Amino acid sequence: MMVMRSDRHSLILGCVLGFLVLLGGCHGGSLNKNFYRKSCPLAEEIVRNATWRHVAANIALPARFLRMHFHDCFVRGCDGSVLLNSTKNNTAEKEAIPNLTLAGFDVIDDIKAEVEKKCPGVVSCADILALAARDSVSFQFKRSMWKVLTGRRDGTVSLASEALANIPSPFLNFTALQQNFANKGLSVRDLVVLSGAHTIGVGHCNAFSVRLYNFTGKGDQDPSLNSTYAASLKNQCKNLTDNTTFVPMDPITPLSFDTRYFTVLRQRRGLFESDAALLTNPNSASITQEMLNSRRFFKSFRTSIKRMGAISVLTGKSGEIRKVCSKIN
């Protein structure tokens, strides 16, 4: 008991010092639970209803929104910058190569419009995206799968070059992935747990077909890839440059948010080199095993996505509350 209490005190002290030094605060910058309680009490309910209505009509949306939230947070923090359109003099994040297959922007604009009708100029696009990612994934469970703190504000800058520099490529090895996540204050555990998002959604052939056809430049196959699975992938992806065909990342339950990503990963059926890389480090490999347990995965995902959702957020008087998510005010 004494140990626990003193640990908690030093944690609080650390937070206070951190707050003074960084003007940041603890656990999620200065995000709050139900930030819009007074200013727009129905905000979260409007977002959830609208998101569920859209997901009921388009089952691909949960994967889209979850990935979009990740891309938003890894470039300039979770500030809605991924949602901005390019302008005459600026090429936005949306246009960057890793974003080529992002989609669902129109749906976010639509959800924002519904929120604006009730509370104009109050709810940020960054918060709407964080909520929509949670709510879309939660649709299959008919309950919220994780808490989303709110109070993010919207950024005014979106640069394609920054997306290229910050979003991890599917060709990275373990060391590079670890570094990429560490740059955002995320741990190896966060890396493994959040990669579990690949339990839903698809990957285009060109993001992995080098593993099938030319792994070391000698027309060979990646030896770490399950050869039965490789044969079935080759049936779908006929050449190295095919960027139109796509396959599910979790071939067992592609639409279900569950632990199957880890099941297939451990059968050497992870789709990308970045997935397979999680088995190349003893610590991360052991976390992939732990994540086979659903309760542990859901619990860990709650923790890690909260950490991701707090990366370099704009709060207080920084940034703005956009009127339309695809353009600055």
Ligand X SMILES: *[C@@H]1O[C@H](CO)[C@@H](O)[C@H](O)[C@H]1NC(C)=O
Active site residues: 71
Q: Which one of 92, 96, 126, 207 is in contact with ligand HEM (CB under 6 A)?
A: 207
107-166 residues in contact with ligand X (CB under 6 A) are: none
Binding at 91: pick from ligand X, ligand HEM, none (beta carbon under 5-8 Å per type): none
Is 69 in contact with 301 (CB distance < 8 Å)? no
DSSP per-residue codes, 63-77: HHHHHHHHHHHHTTS
The verdict on whether residue 250 carries a ligand-binding annotation is yes
Among 12, 45, 121, 318, binds ligand X (CB under 6 A): 45
Which one of the spans 78-86, 140-148, 169-177, 231-239 is the region binding ligand HEM (CB under 6 A)?
Answer: 169-177
Structural tokens at position 181: 């996540």
**Nearest one of 187, 188, 192, 232 to 212, comparing CA atoms:** 232
Helix (H) or strand (E) holding 204: strand 202-204
* 282 sits near ligand X (criterion: CB under 6 A): no
Report d(CA 246, CA 232) in Å as an integer.
13
Q: Which residues contact 195 (CB under 8 A, 6 or more apart)?
A: 261, 274, 275, 278
Q: Is 91 annotated as a binding-site member?
A: no
Burial class, 117, CB count within 10 angstroms (exposed 0-12 / middle 13-18 / buried 19+): exposed
The Cβ of residue 243 has, within 10 Å, a number of other Cβ atoms equal to: 12
Beta bridge partners of 314: 153
Which of residues 53, 118, 184, 204 is near ligand HEM by CB under 6 A? 204
- Residue 306 interacting with ligand HEM (CB under 6 A): no
Give whichever of 235 and 244 is closer to ligand X, judged by the CB atom: 244
Q: Whose Cβ is closer to ligand X: residue 33's or residue 238's?
A: 238
- In degrees and rounded to multiples of 5, residue 203 shows phi and psi of -125, 140
Q: Tell me, what DSSP letter sits at residue 99?
A: G
Q: Closest approach of Cβ 27 to ligand X, in Å?
A: 29
Which residues contact ligand HEM (rule: CB under 6 A)?
A: 63-64, 66-67, 70, 101, 168-170, 172, 177, 191, 194-195, 197-198, 200-204, 207, 246, 272, 274
Which residues contact ligand X (rule: CB under 6 A)?
A: 42, 45-46, 49, 85, 87, 89-90, 94-95, 99-100, 102-103, 173, 175-176, 214, 217, 226, 228-229, 238-245, 267-269, 324, 326-327
List the binding residues: 72, 75, 77, 79, 81, 93, 168, 198-199, 250, 253, 258
